[in-house]
Each structure stands twice: as C-alpha cells, then as structure tokens.
C-alpha cells in the first residue's frame, strides 16, 4: 500500500485550520462558561463565526486558502470530525448509568412517557408541513419521519449533568429523575436513529430486515447490560500504554464490525464505552477510571471541540435558511416536550413548580441533539436547512434550560429538594 502524500503547504493549511477551529471553539466556549451557559454552545458558535455566516463573508480568500486550500482537505478534516463524534459517544457510553430508584419509579415513568412518547406522537402531524424544506436527498418518508420525531423528543445527559453539577444539585431526587429518564430516552432514540440510517443506507424499507436490526440492537444492549451487571473487574492494573492501545483497538474494530451488520458507528461507539466500563470498572478511585478521565480530558480538549466547531462552520444563517421555519420548529418541539411532560406529571404528587422545572429541563437537547443532526445529515436523511435548524434548536433549548434552572434556584434554594405538594417531599 502506498500512502497519498500531502505537500508541505497542504499540511500547513490543515494544521492551521485545526488550530483556528480549536482557538475559536475554546475562546467562545470559555466565554459561554463564564456566562453560565453550556460550553458546547460556545464551541459551535466558534465554528459559526469562522464560516459563511460571519468571517468567511468578509475574508473569503484568506479563510478559503486555509479551509479549502487543496482538493480533499474537507475529507482530511472529516477524519477529525468523525473521531470527535466517536470519542464523544464512547465517553457517553462509559459514563452512562442505568439505575432505577424503585421509590421514585412513578415519577420516572411519567416523565419518560411524557417527554418521549407524547412528543414523538405529537410531532407526526407536523412532519408533512416541514417535509419539502427539511428532507434530504436520500431521505424517505419513514427515515425522515423518524429523525423528525426523535428531534422533538431528545434530551442531553452531558449538558444537564454539567448544569446540575455547577448548581450543586447533583444526586438530588430531581437530578436523578432527569438523568435516569434521559438515559432510557436516549437509548430508545439511538435505536430508532440506527433504524433510520439503515433505511437511508439501503435505499428502501425492508420491514423484516429493519425489525431484525432493531431486535439485534436491543439484544446487543441487553447483553452488554448483563455483562456490566455481572462483571466486576475494577482492580485491573495494566500499563497505561497497554490500556489505551487495547481500548482504541477494541473501539475501532467493534465500530467497523458492527457497521457491517447494520449498527451505525455512533451507536457502536456508545456500546463500546458501556462495555469498557464493565471490563475495566468505573469505581471513583480505580486505576481504569483515572485513565478514562485522562482520555476524556484529552478528547474534550482536542477532538470533541473540533467536531463541534466543524458542525458550526457548516452553518449558513444568511443564505438558504428560513428563520420562520426555525422558530416554528423550535416552538413546536419545545412545546410538545413541555406539554407532554406536564400532562403526565399530573398523575404524580409533585408540586406545580417542580412539574414546570421538569418540563423545561427535559427540553435541553445538548450533545445528543447535535449528534442526531450530524448523523442524519451525513446519511442524507435531512437537508442542510434542517441540519441548521436542529443545531440552533439544540443550542437555544440548552441555554433556556440552564438559565431557567439557575433562576429558580436563586428564587428558592430548596426548590430542588422539596418536590412534592407536601413539605417533606424531597
């Protein structure tokens, strides 16, 4: 095999492009954190500033000479884009905890149904309204409909976790309910997204084959869950180089292997992260946990911000984009998620303020919303306009959820402790 060699000028252009992506995503991400906003919003905004929405409009030749310096540079940058997505989903899988608090099962069930099933069903009448503008070149009615419904219902675990941690309300019944629901919700929605991408990849709907893929995906996760519950190897002490090398080999080979049987790379990376936790352990003081945290620090300082910045740089908020359709979709998505959650919580003993807090919080779409948009767009299921709409919806909903919760805590510090109509309902 002979590698295709890049010239020195092409290498310099690529390195400069990566440096600018990192610089803008870091600078705006840090600014957003200081403003108590999710960092991911700033990292995407950094990419938007570099793209046709802003700087590229004023300096097309200069930025074109960096990001489009040679034929195929987009493919080179796409490697970093895909690695960012893979690491993001791998780390999400590793940090996923599926635990059910039996004393809180009624609240969890009501929020899960209200924030998942109801919004997806409520989205169905609107699919036809947006279809002509939002469907991609390889999207079918089924694959597009699935993505549209998922987009309305999805919730972000990483963004919500960060908000809860910063507010000091992690491990309260409110936070545990939201994170448990989000875990089950995202699992279900990833499986549906896998089905949608399978339809787009094959170009036709084969019901029997799709059912096999869904059942296989569910079975695969069930098997992984069984391994996690019955395997305890938290005291594994292996060399750092060996640990990382084997982890990367396992991650990449499993992603490639599962893709051949209809499991997309995003979901495969998530499963590998979950398997890694069962094999290496996730005890707070374990050697493996420290190594994964170090890997996370590296990934979230290099690959992941480049991924988010490359998401942003593709957005053009001036041409080929309708602010009216964006606002209409946002209101529909936010409203259906909130209304479904509020309706189901009427069957609980929670007080009104808590019900509203759940309804707003479940709207934070964060990282999963961005992954949904990028995967659906890469498969041609959705158009560039819907891709842009989903990214903006994700950013705005995450901002609203974060600021809303902080305002509620400022008004009443005990609001996330006293959840029920009775005084002692934490």
Q: How far apart are CA 306 and CA 297, in angstroms?
A: 14
pLDDT of residue 293: 86
Phi-psi region of 320 (alpha: psi -120 to 50; beta: other; left: phi over 0): left
Question: Which runs of E-coded beta strand occur in 130-238?
Answer: none
Q: How confident is the model at residue 233 (pLDDT cuts 50, 70, 90)?
A: low
Domains in the chain: boundaries: 8-81, 84-311+322-411
Q: How far apart are CA 424 and CA 422, in angstroms?
A: 6
Q: How far apart are CA 75 and CA 266, in angstroms?
A: 18
Which runs of consecutive H residues, i.e. helices, occur in 260-383?
Answer: 265-280, 287-299, 303-313, 323-344, 352-361, 366-378
pLDDT of residue 255: 87
Work out the average pLDDT over 207-216.
71
CATH number for domain 84-311+322-411, candidates 1.20.1530.20, 3.50.50.60, 1.20.1250.20, 3.30.930.10: 1.20.1530.20
Supply φ then ψ for residue 262, to 5 degrees: 95, 10
pLDDT digits (tens, 9 = 90+) for 367-378: 788 889 999 999
Work out the average pLDDT over 261-280.
78
CA distances from 92 to 43, 88, 166, 200, 275 (A): 18, 6, 19, 25, 12
Judge whether residue 54 has pLDDT over 70. Answer: yes
Query: Mean pLDDT lowest for which of 143-152, 177-186, 218-227, 348-357?
Result: 218-227
Q: What percent of the chain has pLDDT over 90?
A: 50
The pTM is what? 0.84
311, 47 Cβ separation under 8 angstroms: yes
DSSP for 113-135 reads IIIIIHHHHHHHHHHHHHHHHHB
Work out the average pLDDT over 12-27.
96
Residue showing tokens 């002509």: 132
The size of the chain, in residues, is: 426
Is pLDDT larger for residue 255 or for residue 337?
Answer: 337
Q: How far apart are CA 360 and CA 334, in angstroms?
A: 8
Q: How confident is the model at residue 283 (pLDDT cuts 50, 70, 90)?
A: low
């Amino acid at each position: 095999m002979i590698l295709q060699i890049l010239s020195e000028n092409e290498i310099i252009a690529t390195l400069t492009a990566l440096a600018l992506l990192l610089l803008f995503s870091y600078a705006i991400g840090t600014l957003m954190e200081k403003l108590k906003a999710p960092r991911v919003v700033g990292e995407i905004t950094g990419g938007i500033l570099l793209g046709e929405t802003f700087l590229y409009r004023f300096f097309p030749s200069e930025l074109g000479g960096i990001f489009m310096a040679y034929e195929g540079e987009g493919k080179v940058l796409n490697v970093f884009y895909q690695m960012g997505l893979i690491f993001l989903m791998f780390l999400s899988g590793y940090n996923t905890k599926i635990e059910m608090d039996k004393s809180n099962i009624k609240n969890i069930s009501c929020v899960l149904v209200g924030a998942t099933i109801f919004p997806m069903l409520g989205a169905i009448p609107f699919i036809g309204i947006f279809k002509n503008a939002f469907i991609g070149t390889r999207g079918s009615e089924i694959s597009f409909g699935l993505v549209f419904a998922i987009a309305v219902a999805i919730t972000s675990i990483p963004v919500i976790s960060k908000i809860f941690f910063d507010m000091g309300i992690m491990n309260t019944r409110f936070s545990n309910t939201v994170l448990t629901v989000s875990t089950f919700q995202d699992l279900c929605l990833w499986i549906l997204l896998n089905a949608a991408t399978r339809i787009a990849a094959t170009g036709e709907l084969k019901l029997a084959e799709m059912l096999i893929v869904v059942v296989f995906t569910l079975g695969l996760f069930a098997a992984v869950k069984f391994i996690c519950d019955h395997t305890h190897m938290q005291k594994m002490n292996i060399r750092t180089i060996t640990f990382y090398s084997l982890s990367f080999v396992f991650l990449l080979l499993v992603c490639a292997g599962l893709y051949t049987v209809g499991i997309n790379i995003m979901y495969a990376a998530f499963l590998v992260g979950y398997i890694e936790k069962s094999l290496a352990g996730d005890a707070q003081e374990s050697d493996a946990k420290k190594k994964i945290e170090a890997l996370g620090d590296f990934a979230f300082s290099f690959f992941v911000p480049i991924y988010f910045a490359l998401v942003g740089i593709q957005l053009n908020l001036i041409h080929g984009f309708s602010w009216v359709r964006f606002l209409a979709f946002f209101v529909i998505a936010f409203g259906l998620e909130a209304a479904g959650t509020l309706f189901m919580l009427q069957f609980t003993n929670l007080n009104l303020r808590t019900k509203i807090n759940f309804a707003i919080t479940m709207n934070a779409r964060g990282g999963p919303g961005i992954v949904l948009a990028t995967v659906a767009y890469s498969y041609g299921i959705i158009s560039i306009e819907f891709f842009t709409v989903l990214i903006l919806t994700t950013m705005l909903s995450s901002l609203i959820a974060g600021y809303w919760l902080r305002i509620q805590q400022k008004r009443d510090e005990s609001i996330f402790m006293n959840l029920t109509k009775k005084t002692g309902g934490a």
